[in-house]
Chain A
């Protein structure tokens, strides 16, 4: 297991280098015209902002040197200072916002895991029953509904018509006076809708995938063999089949992480949640390039970490992967 882990970790290095390269290319998309650095909030700062931008990314130096200087900043997570009024270091700004985004995404992943997989297993088990068809319809609807639209409808219904859930922010007025449990309930109430909605699309994909994976496994010979040995059906399904069917599901779960993180821009903006996604949106609107670059890079690294965790889970679930020689 340890050699497996080390191999996975070594594999991250070229990926990280690639991430620096792609983000370096993105910096070079910056407009050459200072006027385009203008933001509606601070129209006079355009020339100055451009100068700072050039200095920050060493754009006046030869291109190879530029890249190595960027690489040096990258490994130290030095993204410079924000262009906005507060001039805070970018890393600090991001770290302030990151916990909420991670909390939302981890909650979403857990929810996907505990809802989508049973849904997929059941619909494979009761293949082509009414239940399977209902799930299939749900899957198609889930794939097609634009989640931000669903968010609007839910905001309107739960927040305006029923008035049972708060529709913006993550704390109520007077949050600091609540006890620990009161605080937890308050945060959960505020984040219930965003989490459920960001899960919605992935739920469809993952339950579909689990179903198909399960159906494939149920055709395998070792399942027939287990049946022939008279092992109870329940044990075959949940012990023999499920474990093997889940393997590709873990990979897909890992692959859905960038989608979830990317989606946080939309949900945090809609529900005014002060996380990294909202910061990203605000920075894009204000052309705060250092923050944009910082979040782009951190987002990619989070994905990388998520994929690594998925790989580790895969290795734990499947001994063949662990001992495979390469």
Chain B
């Protein structure tokens, strides 16, 4: 393949690429929407009570009565996966909400004030990045107690660094633009300038990284619950269903397959949505 072809390739592909990216976006939206519906209408979709124990029906394989089989306590796995959707999405959204909030504040302050404020805040970011985040999360969970609210807070407070760096970089470039100088000269308060003039200009890349962050938070929550250190049974979560899937891997494959694919598809959905949006907002990444 010659160079001319390579260059040609890049030119002609713009149209094709935008189509492909839109496809990513649409599939992403579809998946995200699908799981939202499941989470909202969980009581109507589920066929059994997700926590009701039935010792007569232990480890039943998938059937017409139990679409995804039953677990070690005879609970209906389909209903548990459906209700688990609520838990995973809830944890994902709240955790990302926290991390975006913290990241925005630190990034805005660093980028706006520059100098030593920026220096201290960015060193703090570097230090937080030094801790393997899963270690930090587990250590904090060990000191507190595993529960949905703790898991959300801890994931949020250990994942804001990327947002902070992003916001800082954007704030640095927006902060030196003329309209910000004009606002300063008008004597507007710092908070007003940050919220009214800078925030709207930095928010779109943050939005993309928040969407990608949701998928990361869902994976972290499910890993924690999988280890028994996240959402505690009997509350169903995709991760803690997988925990019993691991213990019974030898004969009850349905305990692993269904919750795992739910995580996979959801995360894929948010990734496709995030990447699609990124390419829409910022075409130069392809």
Tier of interface size on chain A: 35 or more
User: Does chain B have a CB within 8 A of A171?
Assistant: no
Contact assessment for A296 and B131 in the assembled complex, using a CB-CB cutoff below 8 Å = yes
Chain B residues whose C-beta falls within 8 Å of the C-beta of A140 in the assembled complex:
268, 271-272, 275
Segment with Cβ contacts to A, from B35-43, B72-80, B245-253: B245-253
Per-residue CB contact flags for chain B residues 5-17 toward chain A (1 = under 8 Å, else 0) read 0100110010011
Chain B residues whose C-beta falls within 8 Å of the C-beta of A266 in the assembled complex:
134, 223, 226-227
Chain A residues whose C-beta falls within 8 Å of the C-beta of B143 in the assembled complex:
26-27, 29-31, 289, 292
User: Does chain B have a CB within 8 A of A191?
Assistant: no
User: Does chain B have a CB within 8 A of A15?
Assistant: yes
Per-residue CB contact flags for chain A residues 66-107 toward chain B (1 = under 8 Å, else 0) read 000000000000000000000000000000000000000000
CA distance A287 to B138 in the complex (A): 11
Interface size on B, residues (CB 8 A): 57
Known: A144-B267, A144-B268, A160-B249. A262 touches B135 (CB 8 A): yes
Contact assessment for A287 and B142 in the assembled complex, using a CB-CB cutoff below 8 Å = yes
Majority SS of interface residues in chain A?
A: helix
* Count of A-B contacts judged by CB separation below 8 Å: 159
Contact assessment for A15 and B229 in the assembled complex, using a CB-CB cutoff below 8 Å = no
Known: A22-B127, A153-B256. A141 touches B268 (CB 8 A): yes
Q: What residue in chain B is nearest A276 (Cβ atoms)? A: B135
Chain A residues whose C-beta falls within 8 Å of the C-beta of B256 in the assembled complex:
149, 152-153, 156
Known: A295-B135, A299-B135. A160 touches B250 (CB 8 A): yes
CA distance A281 to B134 in the complex (A): 11
Contact assessment for A15 and B130 in the assembled complex, using a CB-CB cutoff below 8 Å = yes
Q: Which of A126, A149, A156, A295 contacts B242 (CB 8 A)?
A: A149
Q: Which of A27, A36, A300 contacts B131 (CB 8 A)?
A: A300
Contact assessment for A300 and B267 in the assembled complex, using a CB-CB cutoff below 8 Å = no
CA distance A152 to B275 in the complex (A): 28
User: Does chain A have a CB within 8 A of B49?
Assistant: no
User: Does chain A have a CB within 8 A of B141?
Assistant: yes
Contact assessment for A18 and B124 in the assembled complex, using a CB-CB cutoff below 8 Å = yes
Among A26, A36, A148, A266, find the residue whose CB has the most chain B CB atoms closer than 10 A. A148
Contact assessment for A148 and B223 in the assembled complex, using a CB-CB cutoff below 8 Å = yes
Contact assessment for B260 and A152 in the assembled complex, using a CB-CB cutoff below 8 Å = yes
CA distance A303 to B257 in the complex (A): 34
Q: What residue in chain A is nearest B141 (Cβ atoms)? A: A284
CA distance A259 to B142 in the complex (A): 19
Chain B residues whose C-beta falls within 8 Å of the C-beta of A289 in the assembled complex:
142-143
CA distance A281 to B229 in the complex (A): 10
Q: Could you tell me which residues of chain A, from 256 to 275, have a CB within 8 Å of some CB in chain B?
A: 258-259, 261-263, 265-266, 269-270
Contact assessment for B3 and A284 in the assembled complex, using a CB-CB cutoff below 8 Å = no
Chain B residues whose C-beta falls within 8 Å of the C-beta of A21 in the assembled complex:
127
Per-residue CB contact flags for chain A residues 12-26 toward chain B (1 = under 8 Å, else 0) read 001100110110001
Chain A residues whose C-beta falls within 8 Å of the C-beta of B133 in the assembled complex:
258-259, 262
User: Does chain A have a CB within 8 A of B45?
Assistant: no
Contact assessment for A144 and B271 in the assembled complex, using a CB-CB cutoff below 8 Å = yes
Q: Could you tell me which residues of chain B, from 120 to 141, have a CB within 8 Å of some CB in chain A?
A: 123-124, 126-136, 138-141
Q: How many Å from the CB of A294 to the closest CB on chain B?
A: 10
Known: A149-B256, A149-B263. A127 touches B10 (CB 8 A): yes
Chain A residues whose C-beta falls within 8 Å of the C-beta of B135 in the assembled complex:
261-262, 265, 280, 295-296, 299-300
User: Does chain A have a CB within 8 A of B209?
Assistant: no
Chain B residues whose C-beta falls within 8 Å of the C-beta of A29 in the assembled complex:
140, 143-144
CA distance A159 to B129 in the complex (A): 36
Q: How many Å from the CB of A10 to the closest CB on chain B?
A: 14
User: Does chain A have a CB within 8 A of B1?
Assistant: yes
Known: A152-B249, A258-B130. A144 touches B264 (CB 8 A): yes
Chain B residues whose C-beta falls within 8 Å of the C-beta of A215 in the assembled complex:
286
Contact assessment for A296 and B136 in the assembled complex, using a CB-CB cutoff below 8 Å = yes
Among B2, B144, B223, B245, find the residue whose CB has the most chain A CB atoms closer than 10 A. B223
Query: A residues bordering B, Cβ < 8 Å?
Result: 14-15, 18-19, 21-22, 26-27, 29-31, 36, 126-128, 140-141, 143-146, 148-149, 152-153, 155-156, 160, 212, 215, 218, 227, 233, 255, 258-259, 261-263, 265-266, 269-270, 280-281, 283-285, 287, 289, 292-293, 295-296, 299-300, 303-304, 307
